[in-house]
Amino acid sequence: MLKRRKTGDAQPTADAKSKGGGLFKRGGSQTKPTGQPQLYGVVAEFDNEEDLVKAAHHAYEAGYRRMDAFTPYPIEEVSEAIGFHHNRVALIVLIGGLTGVIAGFLLQYYIMVIDYPLNFNGRAPFAWPAFVPVMFETTILGSAFAAVLGMLALNGLPLLYHPVMKTPGFERVTRDGYFFAIEAADPAFDSAKVRQFFQEQRARNIAEVNV
Amino acid sequence: MAVESLDPRNGPVLEPGHSYGSLSDKLTNVVLTRRTPMAWFVAAAIGFLGLMLFLYSVTMLLVYGIGIWGVNVPVAWGFDIVNFVWWIGIGHAGTLISAVLLLTRQKWRTSINRFAEAMTLFAVVCAGMYPILHLGRPWLFYWLFPYPYTLGAWPQFNSPLVWDVFAISTYALTSLLFWYTGLIPDLANMRDRAQNRFAKIAYGIFALGWRGSARHWARYETAYLLLAGLATPLVVSVHSVVSLDFAAGVVPGWQVTVFPPYFVAGAIFSGFAMVLTLAIPIRALYRLQDLITMRHLEMMAKVMLATGLIVSFGYMLEAFYSIYSADTYEVFLTQNRAFGPYAWSYWALWACNALSIQLLWFRRIRTSIPALFILSIIVNIGMWLERFVIIVTALHRDFLPSAWGMYVPTVWDWGTYIGTMGLFLFLMFLFVRFVPLIAIAEMQVLLKEETHGPGHGHQDTEHGHGRGDGHAAAGMPGSTNITGATH
């Protein structure tokens, strides 16, 4: 994240940094940091997918990086627009599959060759072609678990509560709502500016959401 | 897209007139608000009775031992293995629909994949029970797994029966993961729609806190696609390994190299028949004709026809090679199948699996719901007969006439069999009652593709904006719910 922020278009980021960098707790009516609920960010709802995708592109161009979209179904353009191009799920699955195949082989090798060799008509105990079906199954098993558990772990799930869920009307996100959040943790974050930005993007509901 | 444009007579995969919201509501309402139809209670009750019969039969088996079944030397594999192979084959269509058709971008799969996957899962539950029950001492089934125990012995990994343990357990677990992963976004939808507090909490826990984040979706899509890629070879391997249980033996009629592909095709054939058997009543019961359209039924009929022809070819090859081999026992096997005491099952098999499906060449049959329903049941019976023919006719007369015998299933064989059907039905109807039976998020993606490009269902919202959006969206942080009502 840090690296990308620096390499992104520097101008708006630097601009916002000088102004808003130290102010990111400004969201509430008071500036007192202690005892006050901390701001998570500003969340906006969009009417349709096109507006959301456009807003996501513009947000990225405006230099925001700590942001996320929330949609009822996968929209590839949005994750691309917010600068999320690669994920490591495939790598984890590869590791899971390799673990599976090696474990499957070692298990059978240990049992059939080292610990409990059986003599079938003088055939060699190390009959590797017979190991293949089980190795195949353990590969699939390892990869499948890696895919699901890896995806959930990278997503930080299960996480039954998240601040964005406090956004009014957020229950629509699983039906037909398109939400976009710019987080207070973004160095370019400035609540008033972000709200202004969302208005320009034809957002429907704009809300500040506390942690 | 290409599939449709080829033939304009093909119906749509999704009837027009749906928006994202209406689609979601229609599918969540099946579970949440719609009154449960009376037919559901009747069907679930029948399933429950079957489940009780299963409980009774298994209790009898555990108390009195495997002698209450009709199996005995020479036919040591009877209904238990017939039903095992039958059930596991049925499961395969679910994986095929959800994985292979996903990879080949057949979008007609979308509205049937969820319950086809559920069907897989429940069929594997039913199937997995049989090999365990037929062990003689079912409570020691865990000896099949390689773990260090006090006897100091290990499973024998050169045996297809051990491969089978790995194949079936991997298949069951992967199917469960695949199904559950597909469910997560829809469970979140249920969580957000549920009015009942208990339902909200229950769906909330199973939804794992899914919030539709773009980053989450990106990883989710990768994981789901990879799972589909993994499930595809898995489904082929599972039934191949099952067929090796036979093909690695020396019994005439079992030692056939054509078994793996022919078993896999048969599995898909029977699985699609079962999907039709289930889809036809369920779509009528929940009025889902606009989501599970005639097009779906016709496509499934076509897959049935194609796989049915492969299976018929397998039967011909089996008969041809046994005669061509000039091996006494092989030739005798084929004669015995065709004219022996179990000839009825062999010819019934041909009639059900090879002859009846020829009707599917006709479009009128493929688009007639009663005809499809009846044909699907005939194929289910035919595929059961196939396993019966393979197992019983091969075993009951093998090498030595002095060792010949007959196999007659007892009331407990039938009780266990009908019992697992009850279990399957009961689980299926519980699933329909508590979980959205069509993948909502995937249907929304389909809707988006059908309405061409990323355009939203209701274009009228565009007019409300234009220049005036400044005050329309001039929401203060507090006043956010302006449009909540208009939606």
Q: Would you say residue A191 has pLDDT above 60? A: yes
Of all residues in chain B, the one with the smallest CA distance to A196 is B474
| pLDDT at position B452 | 59
- φ and ψ of B354, to 5 deg: -105, -40
DSSP states of B55-108: HHHHHHHHHH-GGGSS-BTTB-S-HHHHHHHHHHHHHHHHHIIIIIHHHTT-GG
CA–CA dist B407, B251 (Å, integer): 16
| pLDDT at position B484 | 34
Nearby residues of B352 by Cβ (< 8 Å), 6 or more positions away: B378, B379, B381, B382, B383, B385
Give the residue carrying structure tokens 């319950």.
B115
| pLDDT at position A22 | 38
Is B244 part of the contact surface with chain A (CB cutoff 8 Å)?
yes
What is the percent of chain A where pLDDT is above 70?
Answer: 83
| pLDDT at position A20 | 39
B154 φ/ψ sector (left φ>0, alpha ψ -120 to 50, else beta): beta
| pLDDT at position A24 | 40
What is the percent of chain B where pLDDT is above 70?
Answer: 90
Q: Residue range B423-442: average pLDDT?
A: 88
Interface contact flag, A155 B157, Cβ < 8 Å: no
Residue B309's alpha-carbon distances to B295, B304, B456, in angstroms, are 21, 8, 43
Q: Would you say residue B1 has pLDDT above 70? A: no
Q: Would you say residue B197 has pLDDT above 50? A: yes
B326 φ/ψ sector (left φ>0, alpha ψ -120 to 50, else beta): left
Exposure letters A92-118 (e unless 16+ CB within 10 A, then b): bbeebbebbbeebbebbbebbeeeeee
| pLDDT at position B466 | 34
Coil/strand/helix, residue B339: helix
| pLDDT at position A34 | 56
Residues 54-93 of A with CB under 8 A from B: 56, 68-79, 82, 84, 87, 89-90, 93
The partner residue sitting opposite A175, judged by closest CB among B155, B189, B473, is: B189
| pLDDT at position B5 | 38
| pLDDT at position B444 | 83
Of the candidates B273, B245, B274, the one whose C-alpha atom is nearest the C-alpha of residue B259 is B245
Angle at B66 between CA B63 and CA B71, to 5 degrees: 155
Q: For all residues of chain B together, what is the average pLDDT?
A: 83
State which of A11-25, B155-169, B466-480 shows the largest mean pLDDT: B155-169
Nearby residues of B258 by Cβ (< 8 Å), 6 or more positions away: B314, B317, B318, B321
Interface contact flag, A79 B215, Cβ < 8 Å: yes
pLDDT (tens digit, 9 = 90+) per residue, B230-277? Answer: 888 898 899 899 888 888 888 888 888 888 888 888 988 998 899 899
CA B226 to chain centre: 20
Of the candidates B301, B69, B295, B98, the one whose C-alpha atom is nearest the C-alpha of residue B183 is B98
Q: What is the ipTM of this complex?
A: 0.82
Nearby residues of B250 by Cβ (< 8 Å), 6 or more positions away: none
Of the candidates B20, B176, B164, the one whose C-alpha atom is nearest the C-alpha of residue B91 is B176
Give the residue carrying structure tokens 């080949």.
B104
Six-digit token string for B312: 């018929």
| Strand partners of residue A174 | none
Confidence class for position B420, pLDDT limits 50, 70, 90: very high
Confidence class for position B300, pLDDT limits 50, 70, 90: confident
CA B154 to chain centre: 33
CA–CA dist B12, B459 (Å, integer): 22
CA–CA dist B83, B125 (Å, integer): 12
Q: Residue range B101-118: average pLDDT?
A: 81
The more confidently predicted of residues A105 and A4 is A105
| pLDDT at position A65 | 83
Confidence class for position B10, pLDDT limits 50, 70, 90: low
CA–CA dist B177, B219 (Å, integer): 15
Coil/strand/helix, residue B413: helix
CA–CA dist A174, A164 (Å, integer): 13
Q: Residue range B385-411: average pLDDT?
A: 90
| pLDDT at position B99 | 82
| pLDDT at position A78 | 85
Confidence class for position A33, pLDDT limits 50, 70, 90: low
Residue B63 burial (CB < 10 Å; 0-12/13-18/19+)?
A: exposed
Residues 18-57 of A with CB under 8 A from B: 45, 47-50, 53, 56
DSSP symbol at B213: B
Six-digit token string for B238: 């599972």
Six-digit token string for B109: 């799969």
CA–CA dist A83, A64 (Å, integer): 10
Q: Would you say residue B194 has pLDDT above 80? A: yes
pLDDT (tens digit, 9 = 90+) per residue, A128-179? Answer: 888 999 999 999 999 999 999 999 999 888 888 888 888 888 888 888 888 8
pLDDT (tens digit, 9 = 90+) per residue, B272-285? Answer: 899 899 889 888 88
pLDDT (tens digit, 9 = 90+) per residue, B324-370? Answer: 988 889 899 999 999 989 999 999 999 999 999 999 999 888 888 89
Q: Would you say residue A116 has pLDDT above 80? A: yes
Residues 203-232 of B with CB under 8 A from A: 204-205, 208-223, 226-227, 230-231
| pLDDT at position A138 | 94
CA–CA dist B469, B471 (Å, integer): 5
Confidence class for position A46, pLDDT limits 50, 70, 90: confident
| pLDDT at position B45 | 93
CA distance B428 to chain A (A): 24
CA–CA dist B96, B3 (Å, integer): 19
Q: Would you say residue A76 has pLDDT above 70? A: yes
Q: What is the dihedral of CA B18, B19, B23, B25, to 10 degrees?
A: -120
DSSP symbol at B289: T
Q: For all residues of chain A together, what is the average pLDDT?
A: 78
Q: Would you say residue A10 has pLDDT above 70? A: no
Interface contact flag, A171 B210, Cβ < 8 Å: no
- φ and ψ of A210, to 5 deg: -90, 160
Q: Residue range B400-419: average pLDDT?
A: 91
| pLDDT at position A29 | 42
